[in-house]
Amino acid sequence: MRLSIDKLSKAYGFLWALRDIHLELQSGQLVALLGPNGAGKTTLLKLFAGLILPTAGSIQLDGATFAPGALDLRRKVGLLSPADHLYENLTVSENLRFFASLYRRRHSPAALVQTLESVNLGPRRDDYVANLSSGMKCRLSIAKWQLLQPELLLLDEPYGVLDGSGVDLLEGFLRAHCAGGGVVIMASHHVSRVLQLCSHALILHQGRLTFNEAKQQPWPSFDRAFSEFLPHGGS
Amino acid sequence: MSLLSETFLLLRKDLLLELRRRDSLLTMFFFGTLLLFVFHFSFDLPPDKVAEMTPALLWLAFLFTGTLGLAQLFNAERENHCLDALLLSPLDRGALFLAKTSFNLILMVLVEIVVIPLFWILFNLNSWNLLPQLFLVTFLGTVGFCVLGTIMAAITLKARARELLLPLILFPLMIPIILATIRCMENVLRTGELGDALPWLRLLLGFDVIFLTLGVLIFDWVIES
């Protein structure tokens, strides 16, 4: 899988949320998307997900351009937004079945149960999503994307609602996803956790991509960029 | 997956959610019934005015009741950003339009099945044999209302004052449907048959077909912009 972003810009009215982003990502990369609040991280994820259209530039997935109506490309992209994108008045298993049908993924009932067991939601499969905690909803989202198997998985601040075992579960899933040839882009403010996990880091600042490098050990260029743009960030 | 199977999948989900919450149907049913009683106690219609006045009153009740349903049409998708989850998926946007239109149509027809006979009783209309023709006309008018209403509900989905905006932009566009339906019903009540009202019925059919096709074709633009 290859993701190419060329001269990507997004404006909301007169405000440029993103300017001239160039990026090339390959299979197996786990990318940390960092930056202060308002840097444009969520806008970039929404553009990758096709939920908003760019003002200029293009996003290509395996050579095919993201455009309205490019429905086949959408099957390749997933957005894990913790505790979101689930129907509250459907049960845990009904949600999974609904989204699996929507993505035309056929799974046996046993596979569905097994996926729920893997995120420790097996005993809650007949509960309404409305009755789950935020952490459990996030676990259900992980189960959902395990089933749907997108090639490009986007995550927006996934750590906030998960407990310790939930974080281990998420990181195991992301590592397996990349090992299987997928690409992960994760926006987060939990810098130290993300840096341990990622193979690549991007820093956005005021809508511009100011840092784009593969992980090194040690990583002085990242430390410089990080201290310049996130002087008070926790690490 | 074909357009129809996607439509069925979404419609099934909406019906299941409505069955569990029951908020749209119950609200529409009680509001429609309430309006009938208000009309009943407000108007004392002389027998020669019944054919002229009752279709307009009945459609006024359907318009207000239907608008109430339309305002809640995307409620399930607003919760937890589920609309984004649908737009993120490879779902044909035309299927979303057809599912939402069908869902609203089912609710409206269920309300009409109760409201029309009640209206007959309250206004002492004895022409029960005309009910099948009136149901046909009402159904065609309701299809038009739901088709146009779903497009407008999607347009106003992200507006701040959507509950106010929806009727403001929907009602003027509904004038051809309301006019055609009322003329057809009036003719049936007066003469016992559609007869002279056939051009209005054709207009109604044409309106339904054109906007249904248009809705399927433009809904991706409507919902994504």
Query: Which pLDDT belongs to residue A230?
Result: 59
- Of A210, A202, A213, A201, the closest CA to residue A228 belongs to A210
> What is the mean pLDDT of the segment spanning B9-32?
93
pLDDT of residue A234: 46
CB atoms under 10 Å from CB of B146, counted, come to: 29
- Average pLDDT over chain B reads 90
Tell me, what's the pLDDT at A28? 93
Interface contact flag, A85 B84, Cβ < 8 Å: yes
Beta bridge pairs of residue A32: A186, A201
CA A224 to chain B, closest CA, distance in angstroms equals 36
Tell me how close the Cα of A188 comes to any Cα of chain B, in angstroms. 20
The residue with tokens 């993505």 is A103
Mean pLDDT of A180-192: 92
pLDDT at A118 over 90: yes
Q: Number of A to B CB contacts under 8 A, please give it.
A: 73
Which carries the bigger pLDDT value, residue B207 or residue A82?
A: B207
Short-list B185, B29, B163, CA closest to B108: B29
**pLDDT, tens only, B102-161:** 999 999 999 999 999 998 888 887 777 888 888 899 999 999 999 999 999 999 988 888
> Chain A residue closest to B76 (CA)?
A87
Residues 109-138 of B with CB under 8 A from A: none
What counts of helices (H) and strands (E) characterise chain A?
A: 8, 10
Q: Name which of A127-136, A143-152, B47-56, B148-157 the model is least confident about.
A: B47-56
Number of Cβ atoms within 10 Å of the Cβ of A195: 17
Which band of pLDDT confidence, cut at 50, 70 and 90, is reported for residue A63?
A: confident
**A71: which chain B residues are within 8 Å (Cβ-Cβ)?**
90-92
Task: Please tell me the predicted confidence (pLDDT) of residue B133.
Answer: 87
pLDDT, position A6: 92
**Residue B61: CB atoms within 10 Å:** 23
- Of all residues in chain A, the percent with pLDDT exceeding 90 is 65
Q: What is the mean pLDDT of chain A?
A: 90
With CB atoms and an 8 Å threshold, state whether B82 touches A86: yes
Whether the per-residue pLDDT at B169 is higher than 60: the answer is yes
Domain range summary for chain A, segments of one domain joined by +: 1-76+152-235, 86-149
One-character DSSP codes across chain B: --HHHHHHHHHHHHHHHHHHH-HHHHHHHHHHHHHHHHHHHH----GGGHHHHHHHHHHHHHHHHHHHHHHTTTHHHHGGGHHHHHHHTT--HHHHHHHHHHHHHHHHHHHHHHHHHHHHHHTT---GGGHHHHHHHHHHHHHHHHHHHHHHHHHTTT-TTHHHHHHHHHHHHHHHHHHHHHHHHHHHHHHSS-GGGHHHHHHHHHHHHHHHHHHHHHHHHHHH-
Is the pLDDT confidence value at B53 over 70?
Answer: yes
From chain B, pick out residues whose CB is under 8 angstroms from the CB of A75.
89-90
Interface test with A, best of B8, B88, B220, B224 (most A CBs within 10 A): B88
- For A95, counting Cβ atoms within 10 Å of its Cβ (0-12 exposed, 13-18 middle, 19+ buried), the class is buried
pLDDT in tens, B91-114: 999 999 999 999 999 999 999 999
Q: Measured between alpha carbons, how far is A78 from A152 in angstroms, rounded to an integer?
A: 6
The shortest CB-CB distance from B20 to any of A89, A101, A102 is to: A89
Of B101, A111, B95, the residue nearest A100 (C-alpha): A111
- pLDDT beyond 90 at B196: no
Please name the fold of domain A1-76+152-235: Rossmann fold (3.40.50)
pLDDT at A231 > cutoff 60? no
B220 touches chain A (CB under 8 A): yes
Residue B23 has pLDDT above 70, yes or no: yes
Q: What percent of chain B has pLDDT over 70?
A: 99
Instruction: Compute the average pLDDT of residues A172-198.
Output: 93
- pLDDT tens digits, residue range A67-117? 777 888 888 999 998 778 999 999 999 999 999 999 988 888 889 999 999
- Who wins on pLDDT, A226 or B147? B147
Mean pLDDT within A151-177: 92
Q: Is the pLDDT of residue A233 over 60?
A: no
Q: Is B15 on the interface with A (CB under 8 A)?
A: no
- The model carries a pTM of 0.90
pLDDT band at B1 (very low <50, low <70, confident <90, very high): low
A66-83 b/e (C-beta count within 10 Å ≥ 16 → b): beeeeeebbbbbbbbbbb
Residues 41-100 of B with CB under 8 A from A: 76, 79-82, 84-92
As a whole number, mean pLDDT of residues B8-14 equals: 96
Interface confidence (ipTM) of the complex: 0.89
Check CB contact under 8 Å for B9 and A50: no
Amino acid identity of residue A200, one-letter, is: H
Structure confidence at residue B132 (pLDDT): 86
C-beta atoms surrounding A175 within 10 Å: 13
Residue B45 has pLDDT above 90, yes or no: no
